[in-house]
Structure 1
Amino acid sequence: MEAATQAFDGADKIRRAAADLFGERGFDAVSIAHIADRAGSSKANIFHHFGSKEALYFAVLREAVDRSTDHFRDAMRAELDPAQRIERAIRGSLTVLFEDPERARLIFREVMESGPCRAEALANEVFGDDFTALTRLFADIQPGGETDGAVPPSFLAHVLLSCNVMLFHCHQVLRHLPGGEYAEQQEHYIKMLRDVLLSSMRAKQETNA
């Protein structure tokens, strides 16, 4: 048990050192030697825990994304009504973004700068579980999922994430635009986005009735 704890602590220390360095310099400018030096570890130990620099990089990116996934899964609790579920998903996503802004910016920089191969790997190895959990949340709220012309749950997931990313990156500017007060009133923003998402589902259902 003690050996397992030490191994976990060692891997976590490496991951945290890598997160700092990747955030400061970007993927290409950071070497395994840099990470080993920052973590007080060895290159052999890094390869033992993670296998490669790219695998370590994806582990760093996944750490923040996994926290978001936990929030989305929590929002699927049966005792919550649809409005509460959506609010919890929006708030959880925002919490992850604003509590660890450096990690969030690292993720978005990678998304913006990745070529086709890296983009596919990011989708499959980093963001897949997160997006699937959020899509399932909307599918659970919206009976029938994508049938009968309903708004696809995956599109609703895109809308939620896109709005939150926009708020995260641009809130300092948005708050100075006409009607942009919501950028500094997070609870007001959450309720407005919740209502937009709910009304889009209801409008489509009423049209199909």
Structure 2
Amino acid sequence: MKTNIIAHVALTFEFSAPSGPADQRSMIEDDIGRLTDADSTSGVACTGFSVTSIETATQNSAVSRTHIICATCGSENVRADAYASWDADTGEWALHSIYDEKFCEVCETSTSLLEVDEATGLEVQAFGMIYCDDGARLVQGRELPEFYDLIVKTMAVAGGEILTLHEFDDMNRLEVEKCLADMAMLYPSAPVSCFFGDLVGSGRTNLPS
């Protein structure tokens, strides 16, 4: 007796040239379709499949930078006590040393700071969202987003916590595209992920056009 099993698998595909969502779906379906024609070597045969959603993530090769953020809230609006002396030749204060006391303007209290690499420690994520009985959820498959959210967040820091540097909610498509461009200016090395279902922007980069 044969048994049919549905397996949910996440696959990553690399496209050598920019392409639209429809072309991406077609090429992915063609590539996966080869499995249905291949001879099984393990006694398991792929008899069918469906592509329910497409996500894209791209990263550029710009030189990365280090960001100093509050370890409590993730804000970059932080200060450090320091010692400086006046340099008459340059007409500027010259920094001599930085003391242990750190302060977060958002938390309005003393804090500890984290150093985060822009390319490996930060990520810009934009989401297509749908209203539902529980409030809102991420779009699925061919659903048309009703609004968009965007966050700039850290990867997991010490203790596994993820900190949010920026958050923008309830945007339309034009607003989220502008916000993506603005964040690309602020964080040119950070990877960008757009979860827009089938409407995900193809060839997405985090370099301003």
> Structure 2 length as normaliser, TM-score?
0.27
Higher fraction of helix = 1
Higher fraction of strand = 2
> Structure 1 length as normaliser, TM-score?
0.27
Q: Which has the higher contact order (CA 8 A, sep 6+)?
A: 2
